[in-house]
Structure 1
């Protein structure tokens, strides 16, 4: 008869699946630390620990010894959390047409076979469990220490966006305000020169609808986090030495300026309800300032990204329609049309609303063709980069046309609408090597492609002479607050800045004369 396990070995057996689950989450956080915060991992960590504990308890109830239950529950945990990676490798890189159900069936048979061998074995497995528990504890401790040290090098988020010192007057008509970001939407001149595409029908539609289209507008910064955080704070980035993190590749200071921004604070102070309609990108997935965060799923974007490599990923999409399930990015196929549909519903209430809507179109992944059909991975791969980009851009045009018609014909005061890109599309060399690309060595054409953007304003009952065709996003809300809220904010000089490379996102240099 086997000896009663000692306390240390028993503890190691209980801890092994928990340590493995904890490591998988904290290591994922560590890998994505430049765009994530420890708070993003909290709920997911709790869920994975409960999942691991449930597996272990279930196997104990099936009369496996404590050591065998520890080993098998950890194996099931690893296969279920990482099983999506070998499937994608087999299906899309090795080009083996293996149905997902068959792959899962084979994996279940493999794990089941190992489980039967474990159950029948007369070995105690005490030492392997103890060794694996120590290894998992070391891995978890190392990942936790790295995350902690990284956080210690970050500036205090509360110090990143000081108040502007302006008070908004109460307007006679409280108009709903829509700030719509179409990510990586190129300027008409870029589309004509680099894509051989005439976007005149769309810009003409906007003008006929009453928009001012700034043909020569350029983003103030070449990346989303820098650009939108600048626009929503109505200022350029002026970081002091103690506000710059030790790791200059860290996006979080820009994310925090976006998440806690001046525009939203001012409008909420003026009695507006803030409705945030974000994207799968972490910085806009949700907002702590929002009165309403529009979500298409109960899970956070951090959790969804974590689960993309797991066997659970297809299960998360089982309630989507068949087109979304078969698309190369089911969440995006489901999210985008639902956001457009919801935009026309959000203004129904007694309070005026400020809506921030971030659409990752024509930004990749290239999910939609010009009709709105969600492409499968094979369909997208069979089209050129330009075809995919233009198809998604034309789909965006179609949806914006319908949205504008609905917003402008709704009862009540005409809304204020800004439709704006945060950046342009990726130049070819940048797309090939984003991590290693040196912006100080970029060509003039690459800068222009990356920073010339769509920028359109619908300001009802406004003299169009207040606009000018080279206005940049940093002045958008200064103009808006001056026109409708009596703010008297000075317009800033329209300048454009780039950063050296992915390892240094804070040492900006002026590229205004290049991109205009």
Structure 2
């Protein structure tokens, strides 16, 4: 055993094991243990192939193992290296993909030549790395065991204290969330776009319009985590730079949200047609070849980052869409269509218990894959917006008009199929592309309209924010006494906004 640890490059196997185990620890509770085996086997296979090729040329197992270790280390921890340089490097060129890949290639060549020529005994180096990764693995196993042994109720989970009196009717409740849909007032003020036709339709359908409504956060996951938990995210500070772990925390709070738990405790059936996982109700949209939870690990790798940064390139080709974890806009289009159809079909189904139906649609959120009449846009338009070659605003405004077609169809269908249902038509935030810092306040103005069969809208005030939406709804429907929170908007530092509008090759005027 001692000779095995001293003379064999066990770290070629231990590194992939540590990488996945460390990912499990970092995202404990979000990745199922069963889902990691295909990922682990694929990584071990890749490491084995690279080691085998290196062994043929370098002859000695430790030399081949050290070269494999260098390549695997760069591949697995590329995301961490990139993020570190982006935050701390005084020179921006150091975290460019071209520089990092060129540097990796140069050092790989130098290392290969050095290993090929050296005559030194590298057994102590092998021992060091073998023990190092064994210690890392043991440490993470202890942390992971502590998590699962101590796993109890999520602290962000619902309190379950709402009790609906038996005398009160429990209607179906539809939450129809249309992502990144600015309020009618904001569209008119900021972009001179007349969206009054949608307001007229909603009024005809009996809706109460909340024209001054705002979201509390300008990012989807933060907005929905706050809305569905009926509270602010107290760990989010104004101006805070949003990192990946913050988004994952939001995913946890959405999964274990207060609204769903309270309604479930009071006999409601939960129907999830959203883009988020809810506890016991996974997201229905189609996933890629790799389980979505393991992407929390793979997105930190070189391939994960390349697929994220250059998705616009890979999605063009059917072969890449099949073998790489990239998402084509056609797939997102199909997911939208599926969720819209599923919510409408749900409204027509017979049911014995009240239902909470959550539909979350990436409309009029990018990608803007249809024009105002619903005709599918060419790739040149969709990719042109993503690559900053086309002004996104005219495409967004056309997409708003297409979204209105689907909204009218959906709401009219629900009203016909389920006339006694409560319907919340909302958005998580407004239009956010290329917004100047001085105009960021307009991003918070969102769509908000409510249909109550009783017509009792007195508690819904015009300046309500999303954090008070369900507090007010439960007070109105179920005679609860939730205190309303201050209606504040929390501005954080999110990449993709706070920048000047660039010049575009094509800036057609919106109609």
Q: Same fold (TM over 0.5)?
A: yes
Q: How far 1:328 moved relative to its partner?
A: 5.2
Q: Give the match's secondary structure for 1:287.
A: coil
Query: In 2, distance between residues paired with 1:390 and 1:206?
Result: 19
Question: What corresponds to 1:48 in structure 2?
Answer: 39
Give yes or no for the alignment of 1:345 onto 2:352.
Answer: no
Is the Cα contact below 8 Å between 2:14 and 2:130 reproduced in 1? no
CA change 1:456–1:47 in 2 (3 A) is: same
The CA deviation string for residues 46-100 of structure 1, in whole angstroms up to 9 with x for no partner, is: 32221133456789999978949968988998999999xxxxxxxxx99xxxxxx
Question: What corresponds to 2:501 in structure 1?
Answer: none
The CA deviation string for residues 125-156 of structure 1, in whole angstroms up to 9 with x for no partner, is: 995997699399669949x87x979x99xx99
Give yes or no for the alignment of 1:8 onto 2:5.
Answer: yes
CA change 1:334–1:139 in 2 (3 A) is: farther
Question: What corresponds to 1:437 in structure 2?
Answer: none
The CA deviation string for residues 211-233 of structure 1, in whole angstroms up to 9 with x for no partner, is: 11211112233433443233223
Q: How far 1:393 moved relative to its partner?
A: 2.7
Query: In 2, distance between residues paired with 1:183 and 1:48?
Result: 32
Is the Cα contact below 8 Å between 2:271 and 2:358 reproduced in 1? yes
CA change 1:308–1:351 in 2 (3 A) is: farther
Give yes or no for the alignment of 1:456 onto 2:422.
Answer: no
The CA deviation string for residues 228-275 of structure 1, in whole angstroms up to 9 with x for no partner, is: 23322334455699xx9xx99845554443322222112111211112
Is the Cα contact below 8 Å between 1:183 and 1:423 reproduced in 2? yes
* 1:37-186 alignment, distance < 5 Å: 37=28, 39-40=30-31, 42=33, 45-55=36-46, 67=61, 134=129, 141=136, 158-160=154-156, 163=159, 165-170=161-166, 174-186=170-182
Question: What corresponds to 1:107 in structure 2?
Answer: none
CA RMSD of aligned residues (A): 5.3
Question: What corresponds to 1:358 in structure 2?
Answer: 360
Question: What corresponds to 2:284 in structure 1?
Answer: 294
Question: What corresponds to 1:19 in structure 2?
Answer: 15
Q: Give the match's secondary structure for 1:295.
A: coil
May I ask how many residue pairs the two structures share in their alignment? 432
If the length of structure 1 is used for normalisation, what is the TM-score? Answer: 0.65
Question: What corresponds to 2:84 in structure 1?
Answer: none
Q: Give the match's secondary structure for 1:221.
A: coil
Query: In 2, distance between residues paired with 1:310 and 1:248?
Result: 16
Q: Give the match's secondary structure for 1:460.
A: coil
Question: What corresponds to 1:105 in structure 2?
Answer: none
Q: How far 1:362 moved relative to its partner?
A: 2.9
* 1:258-277 alignment, distance < 5 Å: 258-277=254-273
Question: What corresponds to 1:446 in structure 2?
Answer: 440
Q: Give the match's secondary structure for 1:345.
A: helix
The CA deviation string for residues 417-461 of structure 1, in whole angstroms up to 9 with x for no partner, is: 11111222326356xxxxxxxxxxx53x421x1211110112123
Is the Cα contact below 8 Å between 1:17 and 1:52 reproduced in 2? no
The CA deviation string for residues 452-476 of structure 1, in whole angstroms up to 9 with x for no partner, is: 1110112123234454333332332
In the alignment, structure 2 segments of 5+ residues that lack a partner are 79-95, 98-108, 496-511
Is the Cα contact below 8 Å between 1:421 and 1:453 reproduced in 2? yes
Q: How far 1:188 moved relative to its partner?
A: 0.9
Bigger mean CA deviation after superposition, 251-260 or 203-212: 251-260
Is the Cα contact below 8 Å between 1:185 and 1:423 reproduced in 2? yes
Is the Cα contact below 8 Å between 1:160 and 1:253 reproduced in 2? no
CA change 1:270–1:413 in 2 (3 A) is: farther
Q: Give the match's secondary structure for 1:159.
A: coil
Question: What corresponds to 1:489 in structure 2?
Answer: 481
In the alignment, structure 1 segments of 5+ residues that lack a partner are 84-92, 95-113, 431-441, 504-516
Q: How far 1:185 moved relative to its partner?
A: 1.4
Is the Cα contact below 8 Å between 2:184 and 2:195 reproduced in 1? yes
Query: In 2, distance between residues paired with 1:240 and 1:375?
Result: 39
Query: In 2, distance between residues paired with 1:197 and 1:475?
Result: 28
